[in-house]
Chains A and B, each alone.
Chain A
Amino acid sequence: MDIYSENIMEHYRDPMNLGKLEDENAYCKDSNPLCGDNIEISLSIRDYKIKNIKHISHGCAINIASSSIVSEKIKDMDIKEVLKLNKDFILNLLGIQLNPIRLKCAMLSLRAIQKATTKYFGDNKNAGS
């Protein structure tokens, strides 16, 4: 199967949720040093839910398309659910098969979202929401 499906290429050419949130309260910058892919995740977390998300992604088509698709999918998702997501969720969402090297590209956005979320809750242990 072609991993560069029309869906992937559309998201690569015109990614959704690009940029940085004004009401950001969780953030993570992450990269895959081996291939040079990198991402900045900007989250707005309210009431244990991802209220909004933006990202700045650089790198290969798989990384950028994955950031776009994932960012759209996790809006309004419960934090607990987000932290449980894994590679099956990503592969299912992208609808393609990936070898272990390219899987890292596809996983970068989710990994950064989960890091940002974990950090937010670490920093806001005593906060009500």
Chain B
Amino acid sequence: MNIKKDFPIFKNNEKLIFLDSASTSQRPNPVIYAIEDFYKNYNANIHRGLYKLSVEASELYEEARKKIANFIRSEYEEIIFTHGATESLNIIANCLSENLNEGDSILLSEMEHHANLVPWQVIAKKKRLNLRFIPVDNEGNLIIDEKLFDNVNIVSVAHVSNALGTLNDIIRIEKLAHKNNALFVLDAAQSIGHLEVDVKKINCDFLAFSGHKMFGPTGIGVLYGKKELLENLEPFLYGGDMIKDVSLNDSEWNDLPWKFEAGTPNISGAIGLGKAVDYLNKTGIDNIKKHEEELTNYLIERLFELRDIKIYNPKERTGIVSFNVNKIHPHDIAELLGKEGICVRAGHHCCMPLMKKLGINGTVRISLSVYNDEKEIDKLIETLKEIIKRFD
């Protein structure tokens, strides 16, 4: 795929080899232009002004929502704009906890990102709820035991592990969750933009993702929820735009989705994310998936050339590959790769319980995107070989 040219960062940083897209992706020109275009030509607050500029800004914002709804096959009013997956998960944890009582249970997994763990921990402590965890085996796969789902109220798991690249069996998890009348929350932060995310097919009740990992801007994300469920939840934030009528002692909430969007939102961010969705559609999710699978194959094949390498979950092909080499601390490897312009992530990847379970302090993580190619992998391997030699 010769689409590197769409991403100006590579033109402006010629030697850049960016292998950290799971942390945040780069942005293509149309997304950058859309943000600039908004501020230059349409900047006004939305849903309020009676003048043309505000109407246009509102249309652009709501048009972006439609694009995102189509992208994940949801209804328009089921898309709530947030700051990102973390905020989406915090909102849903807090909103759902309102209907939970002491002794109720939440099922997570041991591989969750802190964003899908800490919010539940906090509400569990506050409301005396039980937290259960789907365990992880030595390779980084979930061990899904039906018994774990007994009398559970909420199940919240990652689609793809940000730390190891594991693609979880969400078909089975969804079935078990709903068989037990639990609500199913899916953290799609690491899968969206890399593989098909269709909320109708998945049949999740809620879904969270960020814009910045799918070529969109930072500071914008989405919380999807089934309409009938969102309608019955109380809002999380209160203020402007989320109300229909306010008197001194009482207020009536706005319709979906605005009920959950208090205050002036990230308008340019939403518009930018809409453009990112256009870009993903134009490139084709299937093409992206194929490219990333092939490149992951090549990466893993070449990584196995290294002596004493431990790759976590080497069977997965989601574009994320986590490894350790010969007791060299991941930070040392990442810092030395960085000196050669090769950007990778090293550490616990916001999954400290998972690292503890695997008995390690962290890993080096390579995460691929459409703009990566085999030449970059070759340079990575060559540099890794030099680093290993230096540490011998």
A-B pair number, CB within 8 angstroms: 41
Contact A3 B348 (CB under 8 A): no
- Whether B331 contacts A4 by the Cβ 8 Å rule is no
Among A4, A33, A36, the residue within 8 A (CB) of B336 is A4
57-83 of chain A: CB within 8 A of chain B: 59-63
Given the complex of chains A and B, what is the CA–CA distance between A60 and B328 in angstroms? 7
Of all chain A residues, the one with the shortest Cβ separation from B392 is A13
Interface size on B, residues (CB 8 A): 16
Q: Tell me if A34 and B347 are in contact (CB < 8 A).
A: yes
Chain A residues whose C-beta falls within 8 Å of the C-beta of B336 in the assembled complex:
4
19 of the cross-chain contacts (CB-CB < 8 Å) are A4-B336, A9-B390, A34-B348, A35-B331, A35-B361, A36-B355, A36-B360, A36-B361, A36-B362, A37-B329, A37-B361, A60-B329, A60-B332, A61-B328, A61-B332, A61-B391, A63-B329, A101-B331, A105-B331
The one of A4, A34, A35, A63 in contact with B390, judged by C-beta atoms closer than 8 angstroms, is: A4
Q: Which residue of A lies closest to B387 (CB)?
A: A4
CB interface residues, B 87-103, toward A, < 8 Å: none
Specify which chain A residues have a CB less than 8 angstroms from the CB of B390 in the assembled complex.
4, 9
**How far apart sit A34 and B328, CA to CA, in the bound complex (Å)?**
16
Q: Are B329 and A61 in contact (CB under 8 A)?
A: yes
Q: Does A119 contact B (CB under 8 A)?
A: no
B344-362 with Cβ < 8 A to chain A: 347-348, 352, 355, 360-362
Q: Could you tell me the distance in whole angstroms from the C-beta of B201 to the nearest C-beta in chain A? A: 38
Would B347 and A102 count as touching, CB distance under 8 A? no
* Least CB distance, A117 to chain B, in whole angstroms: 27
Asked if A3 contacts B347 (CB within 8 A), the reply is: no
Inter-chain CA distance A52–B332, complex, in Å, is 30
A3 and B361 in contact, given A34-B347, A61-B329 (Cβ under 8 angstroms)? no
Residues of A within 8 A of B347 (CB): 34-35
Taking A9-B390, A35-B347 as contacts, is the C-beta distance between A2 and B339 under 8 angstroms? Answer: yes
Size class of the A contact interface (CB-based, 8 Å): 10 to 19
Whether A3 touches B335, Cβ cut-off 8 Å, given contacts A35-B347, A59-B361, A61-B391, is yes
Q: Which 7 A-B pairs have the closest CB atoms?
A: A36-B361, A60-B329, A60-B331, A60-B332, A61-B332, A59-B329, A35-B331
Shortest CB distance A8–B (Å): 10
Cα–Cα distance between A12 and B362 once the two chains are bound (Å):
19
Closest to B336 in A: A4
| Cross-interface CB contact of A102 among B335, B339, B355, B391, cutoff 8 Å | B335
Map CB proximity to B onto A3-43 as digits: 1 under 8 Å, 0 otherwise. 11000010011000000000000000000011111000000
The docked-state distance in angstroms from the alpha carbon of A63 to that of B335 is 14
- Cα–Cα, bound, A78→B331 (Å): 34
Chain A residues lying within 8 Å of B360, measured Cβ to Cβ, are 36
A2: chain B residues within 8 A (beta carbon): 339
Contacts of A102 on B, CB cut-off 8 Å?
A: 331, 335
- Give CA–CA (A9, B240) in the complex, Å: 58
**A33 CB, nearest partner CB in chain B, Å:** 8
Cβ of A59: which chain B residues have Cβ within 8 Å of it? 329, 361
Contacts of A9 in B (CB 8 A): 390-391
Q: How far is the CA of A2 from the CA of B338 in the complex (A)?
A: 11
A35 touches B362 (CB 8 A): yes
With a cutoff of 8 Å between Cβ atoms, the chain A residues found around residue B352 in the complex are 33
**Complex: A103 Cα to B352 Cα, angstroms:** 21
A-contact bits for B350-392, CB 8 A (1 contact / 0 none): 0010010000111000000000000000000000000000110
